[in-house]
Amino acid sequence: MRFDILTLFPEMFSSPFQESILAKAIEKGLIEVRTINIRDFALDKRRIVDDAPYGGGQGMVMKVEPIARAIEQVKSEDPSVRTIYLTPEGKPLNQEMARQLSSRSHLILLCGRYEGVDERVRELFIDEEISIGDYVLTGGELAAMVLIDTVSRLLPGVLGSDRSAEEDSFFGSLLEYPQYTRPASFRGYEVPEVLLSGNHQAISLWRRKEALRRTWMRRPDLLSKASLSEEDKKILEEISKKDVS
């Protein structure tokens, strides 16, 4: 999968993609990450990419021409590429959205700065607007990193095991069950005995119950989206009764 990042600060992306899982995915050819400096597409010698807003107001607005030229260059190589604008006004990024994006082979990620982009960029060139949360960042670069990480880990071969992504939080709209490792005892806190039993069926049931319990306690809003079996519903009923009592 290929990501083309349109940004005014391409150097911000050098370190995150040289470490850990994403670095290995790039090395294996599972993902490709290219940074494109929007300034390279400016129309003047000074490489100006922003200007004061019509009608007055604070801050500067990113100009339409350099962004348009950058997007059009990428699209000349791949007309089917989908263009995403990272903005607080976009749809909130969630696991289902990441899963849908992971089915594509090529994405353009536009990183806004200042007071945002000229509205004509959005009207003419943007296919989708995405937000990583209800807060404001200095620019879209950090949001682009989050999106690439979230989407990439869903691609076959990126994680050590393809089942790892299935056991993450938000898979199936449930939070992940608690995890433990050695030592079995730490300052009086013990690892649940079932995890030491070697009984895989019992362990699987315990993990399902704990995922349901944790979701019910911390993010009950997710349960309305979850695909719950009759057994899951019984477990939740038991959990709710214990909590009330």
pLDDT one-digit tens code per residue, 178-204: 999 999 999 999 999 999 999 999 999
149-185 pLDDT, tens digit per residue, is 999 999 999 997 665 666 565 668 899 999 999 999 9
Structural domain spans, the chain: 2-160, 167-244
CATH number of 167-244: 1.10.1270.20
For residue 242, the model assigns a pLDDT of: 81
Cα gap 211→118, rounded to integer Å:
44
The amino acid sitting at 237 is: E
Per the annotation, the verdict on 127 as an active-site residue is: no
User: What integer pLDDT is reported at residue 161 of this predicted model?
Assistant: 67
Would you place residue 98 in the very low, low, confident or very high pLDDT band (cuts 50, 70, 90)? very high
Q: How far apart are CA 220 and CA 216, in angstroms?
A: 4
Least confident of 8-17, 105-114, 234-243: 234-243
Q: Give which of 193, 194, 210 is closest to 202, Cα–Cα.
A: 194
Q: Do 14 and 46 touch, CB atoms closer than 8 A? A: no
CA distance 72 to 79: 9
Report the CATH superfamily, name and number, of domain 2-160.
SPOUT methyltransferase, trefoil knot domain (3.40.1280.10)
178 is catalytic: no
pTM of the model as a whole: 0.86
Catalytic residue among 39, 65, 115, 128: 115
Q: What is the model's pLDDT at position 170?
A: 65
User: What is the chain's mean pLDDT, rounded?
Assistant: 94
Q: Is residue 153 annotated as a catalytic residue, yes or no?
A: yes
Q: How far is CA 138 from CA 141, 152, 159, in A?
A: 9, 24, 30
Q: What is the pLDDT of residue 165?
A: 64
Tokens representing residue 32 in the block: 């490709």
Mean pLDDT within 132-144: 96
**Average pLDDT of the segment spanning 69-86:** 98
Give 100's pLDDT tier (boundaries 50, 70, 90).
Answer: very high
Residue from 39, 99, 153, 208 carrying the catalytic annotation: 153
- In sign, the C-alpha dihedral spanning 194, 195, 197, 200 is positive
Would you call 66 exposed, middle or buried from its count of C-beta atoms within 10 A (0-12, 13-18, 19+)?
A: buried
Among residues 168, 176, 207, 214, the one annotated as catalytic is 168
Asked if pLDDT for residue 245 goes beyond 60, the answer is no
Q: Which of 69, 88, 128, 149 is catalytic?
A: 88
pLDDT digits (tens, 9 = 90+) for 214-240: 999 999 999 998 999 999 999 999 999
Where residue 244 falls among pLDDT bands split at 50, 70, 90? low
